[in-house]
Structures are given as structure tokens and as C-alpha cells.
A and B are shown apart, each in its own frame.
Chain A
Amino acid sequence: MKTHSAKRHSARRKPFKRMAARAIGAAAATALAVGSVGAAPLQRLGAGEGRVDIVAWPGYIERGQTDAKFDWVTDFEKKTGCKVNVKTAGTSDEMVALMNEGGFDLVTASGDASLRLIAGKRVQEVNVGLVPSYGKIDPRLQKAAWHHVDGKHYGVPYQWGYNVLAYNTKVFTTPPNSWEVVFKEMNLPDGKSNKGRVQAFDGPIYIADAALYLKATQPALGITDPYSLDEKQYKAALDLLRQQRKIVARYWHDAFVQIDDFTNEGLAASSSWGFQVNVLKSKGQPIASVVPKEGATGWADTTMMHVDSKHPNCAYMWLEHSINPKLQGDLSAWFGSVPVVLSACKGNALLGDKGCENNGLNEFERIAFWRTPVANCGGGRTCVPYYKWVSDYIAVLGGR
């Protein structure tokens, strides 16, 4: 359910390996329900232990093996003597499972995994005093709710991005300004109905996209956060999605399949990622993207530290290294995401001066970042938990 080219790519190449890893992970996750008690964070940085083990999204930690230009590991290893070992994971669930298993120092967790890791006591508090550049992080992210809990830091922000409304410029001569075009049956500017020509994401987290649309269009529902929905709000979102089922011929879940759908199936509009839009544009397809007036959902990733980290000094060194502007800018260019350090946006040859803006830097305020919906959503409210989202989204897709 996570978003990127490289991630999806590898997910596609090794579905069985991934499945196996996940099956083992799930078993481990259930076996390890009891977490150990978090110790106090490190107070003084000592000498490196010679290695650091990181669980990361594919493409997130590059050492120049895919493309020699994209390498932010080699110089770190030279400088600190900490050898970096990366274990890639294809989904948030897999990351949680790997962290439950243990044996790692760090993880690049998305918002739908980070709170689970904190609640499960799988990650430890991070002493940001040992990360000298922490103050240079985008102030909007320094104390974000998905890693800053009860006044404690549980990680260092790494990158973020968001979901766009992609559309065919031949159908829409002016950009659509509302998600309405994928939610309601209507005639598009080319005079034909949108039925069968729009898509939605094939994952339960998409219920939040419906809620976000309702937040703007039906204020009476009182939706403030699309990831914290009470029964009534949730029902309204499902109703909207059931209407949508009638105009969506197929839901997308694989970035490459969607690229193909835009190319060969005459798609007019769909929720999408910057990645597909960039690839389609590079192939000369008439596709562009927009963040509609209702805003968009997105993801923000945080590097978090395992509660039983065996190489804490090297881990802290990596945390500091992970937010240096050069790495942040290169990663942003590689990944199509946005740096968490704003100075990374200037003077990066790979990213270009417009790179951050193109990847969505200025849309931050309008993005509802992914979180795992939980029953206890604060303020004395009870919300619909994530596992219900899964069952109900399956029912919606099945036409019920």
C-alpha cells in the first residue's frame, strides 16, 4: 500500500519472496505480542560498533548499485566505519513484522506503521540532542503526530509525498479542481460520461480519500481527520464508495498496471502517484496531475530505532547522516518524494531547482498524512479500526 516506483517495482518482481517474508513475519508478529520495556535513550555518543542494520523501502537507501549517481551510503561507511546492511520491505505490515522479529537497528516507517511500532514498544525514544541537524528539519515535521508521542521523539523524519489526481489533458482542457470527477457519475468536459473511465485505489486506506472528499463537501458530518472516523462518518464514506463502484470498472493497485491503463484503456482520471504521472509524461502521454481543492492523502516516513538496537552509536550516526541536504536532495530526485530538510531543495544537480516544488513541497498543508485508523482515536471518541476498513472495502469492491 505504500507508494513508490522502486517499491512497487521490486514488489512486482518478487511477489513470492515477499509473500513468504510476510507470512513468516506475520507468524512472528503474533508470536511476539509481548514487547520489552523501552530503556532510556542514549545520552552520549560513543565509538561506532562497525555496522548498522536498517529495514527500508526498496530504493530508499541507495549505494549506487542501481545507478552510480545515486549513492548515499559509501561515503557514510568511509566516514564512520559503520557498514550499512539494508533489509528491504515491500509493505508497512512487513516492516512491523520485521521489527517485531528484531535484529535490526533502524526502520524507515510510514505513518501507518510508526504508531503501531510505538504502541507495540518495538522502537525506542530518540535523543534528538545526539542528532545535531535535527533543528534544520522542516519545522512542520519536527513534532509530527506520527513520531512525536507524549512529548517524546521516536524517530527522525526522512521523506514525504502524496497521492495526486491524475487526468488526461485531452479530456480535461482545464485541470479538474475536485475529486468529484472520480466519485460521482457525471459528464466530463469531452461530453462523455466518466463511467468506466475513472479509477480508484485498490486498498482499504482509500476509504480515507472518500472521507477527505466528504470533509469538504458535507461539513455536517463533522469529519476533521479522515483517519479517525466514527460510525456515522464511516458509513457516509462507504456509501460514497459504493456509488463510486458503479463508475469504476477496475481499481488499481500496481503502478505499472495503471500506467498501462492510462496508455491503453483510455482512462480519463484517477487517484495516482507522482511516479506514474512522471513516467507517463516522459512517454509523451497527455497526462498531468493536480491536488484538488479538497486536498489529498499522503505519506510521511520516519527513521525509527529498534528498542533492542545492538549498534546504537552507528544508528545515531546514520540518523544524523540521513538528514544531510545532499542525501535528502538526491533521495527526493530518485524517489519523487519531498525532502524533510528544506535546504536540500537548492543547488542539487540531480533534483534541479524546481524539483521540490514539482514533487509537492508547497502542498504540505493540504495533505492528510497516512495513519493507521484505531478504535481509540482520542477525545473520548470511538472510531472504526483498520481491520474493519479492510473487510468493508472488500465488500464495496464486491458490489455490497
Chain B
Amino acid sequence: MSAAAWQAGRGDPIARLARYLHAHPRVTLALLLTPPLLWLGVIYLGSLLALLAQSFFYIDEFSGQVVRQLSLRTYAELLTEPNLLVVARTVAMAAAVTFACALIAFPIAYYMVRYASVRLKALMYLGVMVPLWSSYIVRVYSWKLILAKEGVITWLAEHLGALWLLEAILAVPVLGGPSLSFSMFGTFIVFVYIWVPFMILPIVAALERVPRSLMEASADLGAAPLATFRRVILPLAFPGVVAGSIFTFSLTLGDYIIPKVIGTSHPYIGTVVYAQQGVAGNVPLAAAFTVVPMIVMAVYLTIARRLGAFNAL
């Protein structure tokens, strides 16, 4: 830079600012970090804390108005039997959905990583992702038609002579019902369908990081394919399964649309929160209910950590 240009630049406020920031890297860092930290701290954590605070208020028995006084009454109400049943039902459903998603996702992910050609792999990626780009609501409603009493599955069962099987499935107490879309099986199937991509993608990512050389070494040392899978691949890919399970588990815990459209109208945490905060105006109880998935997830993550799921991170 010539002395003249340097001289000319001195008066320019932008150039002065640039020089100042260059000389004070900490200020630069603070300026860059403040907006995202504000977002995280105020909007994200702040709203969470506001929610938590709401759960310590309670509803006045007579007027139905929220009383803004700290109290554990709402939690006492949360711990009554019908509400605990809702929590148990939701957690059981989330666990079942997560397990099924893992069972379905692992072979698909494994095939994508180990066997599929580059083109097929791209196609499979697309196949996994495309449903995520279309409307969630539309997909849920179309499943309603598929599972209906006069829908495709019943029709198929009729033509394959497997109606007895369908009827046997629907006759299972609690889980069954008059038709698949009117049963807990239906809710389960749709949950699995909707969340399975969230399981496939992390497992693919994890499997891709398993070096082929380790598997070859395992084979060279005389391990049967199953032993290699059990003792080499699975432990190395397990963090991916756990990452996926965090998605499927927490998404099922919070969802309120699928149980409203498909199933037996048994309440889940999401639907109860929706009803309590919207219809009832009982924001404290709704807030207390949303604390439940937080606790469940905290316990879940602790267990996952104990299992060593985050060691590879």
C-alpha cells in the first residue's frame, strides 16, 4: 500500500473500524458471538425457563384463572393416575418406535454403505430424504387411507387370503381395534414410517466411519461374519444408532398430530399438552407435562452415555 493510500484511508471510518477490530481480536469475537449467544440464551433457554416457571404456578379451582404464586400443586396434579398413564403410554410407544426404527434402519444403512453402487447409493439417499421434503400432514393423512378398514391393506389381505392374519392382529387386546387405523398398531406403524429417516441417516454416517481394514483384519483373524458384525461393526456404529434413537425417541415423545389422526384416541403427552394449553387455558399443567419429556430424555441420555454411546464423539 502506498503512503498516499494509507494516508487517504486514515479518515475513512470503515477503514478505522477495521483497524480497530484487527487490533482487538477479543472485541471482534464478542461481536461475532453475541447474536448467536443471545439467540441461544434469551430466546431458546429463556423461553424454556419461562415454561419451567409456568409449571410452578397453578390454576385456581374456582375461577379457573392462573394463580402466579410458586407452588407444587400442579406437579401433584401431574402425578395423578390418569396423567401417569399418559406418560407411561407415551414412553412405551416412543421406546417401541425407536426399537423398530433401529431394526429397519440398520440393514438399509448397512446396504447403502457397504454394497450399493455410487448411483444406487445416491438414489437411496434420495429415497430416504424425499419423504422429509413433503408435507408431514399429507403423509399422515394418506396413511389413514392406507390403514382404513376399506383401505389397501385390507384389500391386499383379502386377495392374498390373509384376512385371518389381519383379524388376529386386530384382535390383540389393547393394541388392536376394529381396523388398523383405529388401533394402536396403526399409530405405531405411522410413527415408525415418519421417523425412520431420522434413524437411517445417522447410522449411515456412523457406518461410513468404520474402516474396511478393521473388518478385513477381523476376518483374517478368523472371525465369522456374524462375530465381526457383533464385535467390530456394531460397537463402532452404535453411536449412530444412539444418535438416531435420540431423534426418534424425542420426536415420538412430543408428537401430537399422529395420535390425533390415527389410532384409538388414547391421549399422549403431546395431545395432552395441546389440550391443556389451548382448550383449557391450563398453562401450568401443560408446562408441567412438557417437563416430563425433558426428564425422560435426560435419563435416556445418561443411560446412553453409560453405554458409551458418546465415547466416539
Contact = CB atoms under 8 A, between A and B. Distances in A.
B73 interface: no
A391 interface: yes
Contacts of B64: 374-375, 385-387
Given A12-B137, A265-B149, A257 B278 contact: no
Contacts of A254: 260-261
A249 B178 contact: yes
Contacts of A196: 177-178, 182
A400 B61 contact: no
A22 B278 contact: yes
B145 A264 contact: yes
A389 B272 CA distance: 13
B62 interface: yes
Nearest to A249: B182
B156 to A, nearest CB: 15
Contacts of B261: 254, 257
Contacts of A375: 61-64
A93 interface: yes
A46 interface: no
B139 to A, nearest CB: 14
A248 B282 contact: no
Contacts of A12: 137
Interface in B251-279: 257, 260-261, 263-267, 272, 275-279
Interface in A240-279: 248-251, 253-254, 257, 260, 263-266
Given A266-B149, A387-B64, A250 B264 contact: yes
B256 to A, nearest CB: 10
Contacts of A399: 85, 266
A91 B277 CA distance: 12
A26 interface: yes
A265 B183 CA distance: 12
A398 interface: yes
Interface residues of A, number: 45
Contacts of B150: 263-266
A26 B283 contact: yes
B149 A390 contact: no
Nearest to A256: B141
Given A257-B144, A260-B144, A387-B59, A250 B263 contact: yes
B62 A385 contact: yes
Contact of B62 (A23, A263, A376, A398): A376
B86 A265 contact: no
A29 interface: yes
B179 A391 contact: no
A203 B179 CA distance: 23
Interface in A187-209: 195-197, 202-204
Interface in A345-400: 374-376, 382, 385-387, 389-391, 394-395, 397-400
Given A250-B264, A257-B144, A397-B267, A386 B280 contact: yes
A30 interface: yes
A249 B182 CA distance: 6
B101 interface: no
A1 interface: yes
A15 interface: yes
Interface of A: 1, 12, 15, 22-23, 26, 29-30, 33, 91, 93, 195-197, 202-204, 248-251, 253-254, 257, 260, 263-266, 374-376, 382, 385-387, 389-391, 394-395, 397-400
Given A15-B257, A202-B260, A265-B178, 12 more contacts: A91-B278, A93-B279, A197-B178, A248-B265, A257-B144, A266-B150, A390-B276, A391-B77, A391-B82, A394-B272, A398-B89, A399-B85
Interface of B: 59, 61-66, 77, 81-82, 85-86, 89, 137, 141, 144-145, 148-151, 177-179, 181-183, 257, 260-261, 263-267, 272, 275-283, 285
25 contacts: A1-B279, A12-B137, A15-B137, A26-B281, A26-B283, A195-B178, A197-B178, A249-B264, A250-B177, A265-B178, A265-B179, A375-B61, A386-B64, A387-B64, A387-B280, A391-B82, A391-B280, A394-B82, A394-B86, A394-B272, A395-B82, A397-B266, A398-B85, A398-B266, A400-B81
